[in-house]
Amino acid sequence: MNGALKAAWALTVFVILAGIVGWAVSGRPVFAVFIVLGVLTGVAAAFAFRTPPAGRPTSSEERT
């Protein structure tokens, strides 16, 4: 796992926890937006930093 992926997952966890804590402390459901944004950040990180399937060249290998 590279540094960028670790940072993306850390951001995901932070945003989700901020939403849960904010909602629990204030009782305002507007903090559900943080939870949704955290989940979307996690999904985006999973797609952006995934490794290509075996046997498939990466974009840098295709250029050579």
- pLDDT for the residue 26: 93
The pLDDT profile of the chain, 64 residues, written as one tens digit per residue, is 678 778 888 888 999 999 999 999 999 989 999 999 999 988 888 887 776 666 666 666 555 5
| Per-residue confidence (pLDDT) for residue 61, from 0 to 100 | 57
Terminus-to-terminus CA distance in the chain, angstroms? 26
Closest by Cα among 8, 11, 16 to 39: 16
Find the farthest-apart pair of alpha carbons in the chain and give their distance in angstroms, rounded: 56
